[in-house]
Chains A and B, each alone.
Chain A
Amino acid sequence: MKRITSQREFFFSQTLGKPIYDRNGKPVGRLRDIAVRWDNHYPRVTGIKFAKDVQKHIRIGQIEQWDERSIRLNVVFTDKLQHLTEEELYVGKWLLDKQIIDTKGSKLVRVNDIMLAWIESGTAHELILLAVDVGVRGLLRRIGMETLVKGQPQNLVDWKYIKPLESKMDNLRLTLEHPSLKDLHPADLADIIEDMDSISRTHLLAGLDRQTAIEALTEADLDTQVEIITDMDSTSASEMLADMPPDEAADILGELPEEKSSELLNLMDKDEAEDVRELMEYEENTAGALMTTEFISFPADTTAEDCINRLRELKPSTETIYYLYVIDHAEVLMGVVPLRDLIVAQPQTELGSIMRSRVATVRGDDDLRKVQETVTKYDLLALPVVDEQGVLLGIIRVDDVMETVFPDRGGLESFTDFMTHSKSWMRWKP
């Protein structure tokens, strides 16, 4: 299992019936079915059935290479094989074509196809069932007519939302109301995207709605972001970047070749491009490089009522709503109003009278350490960045600071870790 495949994700219908060769290139049979063991969220492939009416199967460990054309074994084929055990299931026989039923027991959709994926677990590679294709594309792929709906998005349900079968005849049951890849947390989606090759990524991103795709891309690590943007055509790439938080966009553009990044910037909306350009000027690991220019600010004479109405119109993202910054006509930072104070204030109160004027700030060229210390010391969810004159340039969100503290956030476990950590940050301390 050392040299694994060119293809990391593939569909069951694409691999079914493909020829199997042993180490010497001798034909062994054709892939008739796949055996899995379902003792985790994602069922693991344990073996393949290679001929009709032969109940024994080839173990996954004996497979050297598995791609969409053929399967090659790393041994000379003998018929000393293992039988299916009690815990193993055949994918084609017992999972494919099953009805999927929601939490309330009403019939929903069908397993039209199954997406398999190679994943790394420790040093070993494992082949898992990643998702169920419940869409029209899966249906038509089965009868070899997927090209008819090439442009349509994929309709996949992540396997971890499916309850393990109690008996083989049972329908598959969902653990959530309407889970699909788009309902995954963007950070989980980002993890999946990070593990994929470029072709699968393009497929997956194309299947998501725009907002979800952007959120997932924002959550992905920088290398993945750069790879994805590089693979896209310039127009889509610039649109994608324009919709991302400016700091993330600046980071990505900073990694691209000079020529490419100025091409993309020129395609973007003028104001947005300007924001991103400014951010790109800061050196790496400074407050300026970390900050985003997305923040909420109001003049001091705004009433609490007007302010809340304006927030309703703006619908700002979660990260930015906790602090409302008060600025004067020259955009100099005068104070901050925490969201809580705004909500409990009388409607006609002016922001100037309830703001806190002692605000912890950093300068654009302050280093990372200073940023981390300030955020920790004052228990902040976002830290304002100002220039020499006190003009508010942007804010650094706590999650961006966290990423500098835990840079290796990779798997889902550390994500959970992150969530539990951030909970204490969420607790409001005025």
Chain B
Amino acid sequence: MKTFKKFNLLLPSLILFLAIMGPGIITANVDNDAGGITTYSVAGASFGLKLLWIFIPMTLALIVVQEMCARMGAVTGKGLSDLIRERFGVKVIMFVMAALLLADLGNTVSEFAGVAASGEIFNISKYILVPIVAFLVWFIVIKGSYKMVERVFLVASALYLCYIPSAIMAKPNWGVVFKAMVVPSFSFSPVYLAMLIGLIGTTIAPWMQFYIQSAVVEKGITAKDYAYSRTDVIVGCFMTDIIAVFIVVACAATLFVHNIQIATAKDAAIALQPLAGRWAGLLFGFGLLNASVFSASILPLATSYYVCEALGFEAGIDKTWSEAPVFYWLYTSLVVIGAGLILIPNAPLIAIMLWSQVANGVLLPFILIFMLILINNKDIMGRFTNSRVFNAVSWATTAIMIALTLLLVVISVFPQLLA
């Protein structure tokens, strides 16, 4: 009888959670994009398990940042770009949007680079695969209804689980893995520092804050249901980092122990084929393709949304091309330029990704400070402002993030500094 009662209490909560979940989990999965997979692979291949400890503090930082955005979205019903524009004005939002546009164009390029790389695993020329994927991505968003798009993305995100069997088939020593998770091993070697910053930079990117807050608003989650949304955020953050951990483990157990150095995820996938059987390579390839396509469809779309909403142009895929021309042209340009740059022979891909990394890095400290000002504003947040303890944690996170991203920007612009 007692258990029955408990069940009765649990069931409605569970249904509510299932209805509300989504924004946090989708955001988290878009985060494991081509750039992320590349970075995690290189980290595993070059340093083995040495960087694994960073994932626990990084997950906490990710939760702190994402939770604040989800809370702002639920309480105010407004996106992050809305709040920044309303509180800080036109000049600030124009700077923020210009930086975001630049950063996300770079991110989109790296998504299509991921598509091209996965094509090499399946022996499909990038001149065929990239245009097809770009067109499909563009077409689904332009012609499909939003609900369908969202469902496609949700189903697609389950494919990330491919990384787990891929890692298991590589047969790592699990005892060593668990120890590496909890015992920090720090080094002041420049290469190590660069890798550390790269990991954090790819995991906590500025667009995610905009994305999760808009997704919460879009879903109609209010302050009343917020507790469930927080669970969604936490689950999402853990999913991101668990998958990231499996990638690092897989690469450490195969490439690192055999002393194979890699430069990109493409090398990582090719290197996995002889070591863990042909299935591991295929899984890696599928995972990379899925991650790239997923992010390549969400990033340009989301970026067009924020820019248009912030600057006051009509936006939304439920509007027609003539109703929201700026929105559609921006979206189309991002996809076309993003995919087009990959197809140019000898395109300066490295330079593009480098500058987008810099734009990301310059933007993140501003976004974090804006968020902290906004979330502590009683006019905006009412009784949902940060508690003192949460503020201490979030300011500390912000300070560390700012220090690290500044370092990242410096070494991106002056790579010889640490070499």
> Any chain A CB within 8 A of the CB of B312?
yes
* Contacting pair A109 B312 (CB below 8 A): yes
Interface residues of B in 357-394 (CB under 8 A from A): 379-380
State whether A142 and B312 are in contact (beta carbons under 8 Å apart), knowing that A169-B76, A169-B380 are contacts in the complex. Answer: no
User: Mask for A131-145, Cβ within 8 A of B = 1, else 0?
Assistant: 000100001001100
Contacts of B309 in A (CB 8 A): 99, 107, 110
> Any chain B CB within 8 A of the CB of A147?
no
Contacts of A109 in B (CB 8 A): 312-314
State whether A110 and B85 are in contact (beta carbons under 8 Å apart), knowing that A99-B78, A169-B379 are contacts in the complex. Answer: yes
* Contacting pair A112 B78 (CB below 8 A): no
Interface residues of B in 193-243 (CB under 8 A from A): none
A134 CA to B314 CA in the complex, in Å?
A: 11
Query: Residue on A with the closest CB to B326?
Result: A136
A97 CA to B310 CA in the complex, in Å?
A: 9
Contacts of A108 in B (CB 8 A): 314
* Contacting pair B312 A134 (CB below 8 A): yes
State whether A142 and B90 are in contact (beta carbons under 8 Å apart), knowing that A99-B78, A169-B380 are contacts in the complex. Answer: yes
User: Mask for A96-127, Cβ within 8 A of B = 1, else 0?
Assistant: 11110000001111111000000000000000
Closest CB in chain A relative to B311 CB, distance in Å? 6
Contacts of A168 in B (CB 8 A): 379
Closest CB in chain B relative to A132 CB, distance in Å? 10
* Contacting pair A97 B89 (CB below 8 A): yes
Query: Residue on A with the closest CB to B217?
Result: A107
> Any chain A CB within 8 A of the CB of B316?
yes
* Contacting pair B316 A143 (CB below 8 A): no
A97 CA to B379 CA in the complex, in Å?
A: 16
* Contacting pair A97 B90 (CB below 8 A): yes
> Any chain A CB within 8 A of the CB of B94?
yes
Contacts of A112 in B (CB 8 A): 90, 312
Interface residue count on the B side (C-beta < 8 Å): 21
A352 CA to B225 CA in the complex, in Å?
A: 75
A324 CA to B396 CA in the complex, in Å?
A: 82
Closest CB in chain B relative to A16 CB, distance in Å? 10
Closest CB in chain B relative to A145 CB, distance in Å? 10
> Any chain A CB within 8 A of the CB of B104?
no
Query: Residue on A with the closest CB to B84?
Result: A97
Contacts of A143 in B (CB 8 A): 90-91, 94
A36 CA to B90 CA in the complex, in Å?
A: 21
Closest CB in chain B relative to A8 CB, distance in Å? 25
State whether A139 and B311 are in contact (beta carbons under 8 Å apart), knowing that A107-B316, A169-B379, A169-B380 are contacts in the complex. Answer: yes
* Contacting pair B86 A97 (CB below 8 A): yes
Contacts of B316 in A (CB 8 A): 106-107
Contacts of A111 in B (CB 8 A): 312
Interface residues of A in 139-167 (CB under 8 A from B): 139, 142-143
Closest CB in chain B relative to A292 CB, distance in Å? 37
A142 CA to B379 CA in the complex, in Å?
A: 25
* Contacting pair B90 A98 (CB below 8 A): no
Interface residues of B in 298-317 (CB under 8 A from A): 309-316
> Any chain A CB within 8 A of the CB of B82?
yes
* Contacting pair A97 B85 (CB below 8 A): yes
* Contacting pair A110 B311 (CB below 8 A): yes
Closest CB in chain A relative to B376 CB, distance in Å? 15
A169 CA to B309 CA in the complex, in Å?
A: 17
* Contacting pair B94 A99 (CB below 8 A): no
A97 CA to B315 CA in the complex, in Å?
A: 16
Query: Residue on A with the closest CB to B311?
Result: A139
Closest CB in chain B relative to A426 CB, distance in Å? 35
* Contacting pair A110 B91 (CB below 8 A): no
Closest CB in chain A relative to B290 CB, distance in Å? 31
A108 CA to B323 CA in the complex, in Å?
A: 10
A106 CA to B86 CA in the complex, in Å?
A: 18
User: Mask for A243-284, Cβ within 8 A of B = 1, else 0?
Assistant: 000000000000000000000000000000000000000000
Contacts of A169 in B (CB 8 A): 76, 379-380
A143 CA to B78 CA in the complex, in Å?
A: 24
Query: Residue on B with the closest CB to A155?
Result: B312
A110 CA to B318 CA in the complex, in Å?
A: 19
Contacts of B313 in A (CB 8 A): 109
* Contacting pair B312 A139 (CB below 8 A): yes
* Contacting pair B91 A142 (CB below 8 A): yes
A143 CA to B252 CA in the complex, in Å?
A: 52
Query: Residue on B with the closest CB to A142?
Result: B90
A108 CA to B311 CA in the complex, in Å?
A: 11
A41 CA to B326 CA in the complex, in Å?
A: 31
**Which of B85, B90, B91, B313 has most A Cβ within 10 Å?**
B90
Closest CB in chain B relative to A83 CB, distance in Å? 17
State whether A110 and B312 are in contact (beta carbons under 8 Å apart), knowing that A97-B90, A142-B90 are contacts in the complex. Answer: yes
* Contacting pair A99 B82 (CB below 8 A): yes
Q: Which of A98, A107, A134, A142 contacts B86, CB < 8 Å?
A: A98
A96 CA to B309 CA in the complex, in Å?
A: 14
A107 CA to B324 CA in the complex, in Å?
A: 11
Interface residues of B in 71-93 (CB under 8 A from A): 76, 78, 82, 85-86, 89-91
A109 CA to B94 CA in the complex, in Å?
A: 16
Closest CB in chain B relative to A91 CB, distance in Å? 13
Closest CB in chain A relative to B28 CB, distance in Å? 26
Closest CB in chain A relative to B221 CB, distance in Å? 16
* Contacting pair B315 A107 (CB below 8 A): yes
Contacts of A139 in B (CB 8 A): 90, 311-312
Closest CB in chain A relative to B120 CB, distance in Å? 42
A107 CA to B314 CA in the complex, in Å?
A: 7
Closest CB in chain A relative to B242 CB, distance in Å? 35
Closest CB in chain A relative to B143 CB, distance in Å? 20
Contacts of A110 in B (CB 8 A): 85, 309-312
Closest CB in chain B relative to A12 CB, distance in Å? 12
A168 CA to B76 CA in the complex, in Å?
A: 11
Contacts of B380 in A (CB 8 A): 169
User: Mask for B309-352, Cβ within 8 A of A = 1, else 0?
Assistant: 11111111011000000000000000000000000000000000
A108 CA to B85 CA in the complex, in Å?
A: 15
A107 CA to B85 CA in the complex, in Å?
A: 15
Closest CB in chain A relative to B15 CB, distance in Å? 26
Contacts of B86 in A (CB 8 A): 97-98
A110 CA to B76 CA in the complex, in Å?
A: 17
A106 CA to B320 CA in the complex, in Å?
A: 13
Closest CB in chain B relative to A32 CB, distance in Å? 13
A143 CA to B94 CA in the complex, in Å?
A: 9
Across the A-B interface, give the 9 residue pairs with the lowest CB-CB distance, nearest first. Answer: A110-B312, A142-B90, A109-B312, A97-B86, A97-B85, A112-B312, A143-B91, A108-B314, A143-B90
22 pairs, A vs B, C-beta closer than 8 Å: A96-B89, A97-B85, A97-B86, A97-B90, A98-B86, A99-B78, A106-B316, A106-B319, A107-B309, A107-B314, A108-B314, A109-B312, A109-B313, A110-B85, A112-B90, A112-B312, A139-B90, A139-B311, A142-B89, A142-B90, A143-B90, A171-B78
A106-B316, A169-B76 known, 8 other contacts, Cβ within 8 Å: A98-B86, A106-B319, A108-B314, A110-B310, A111-B312, A112-B90, A142-B90, A142-B91
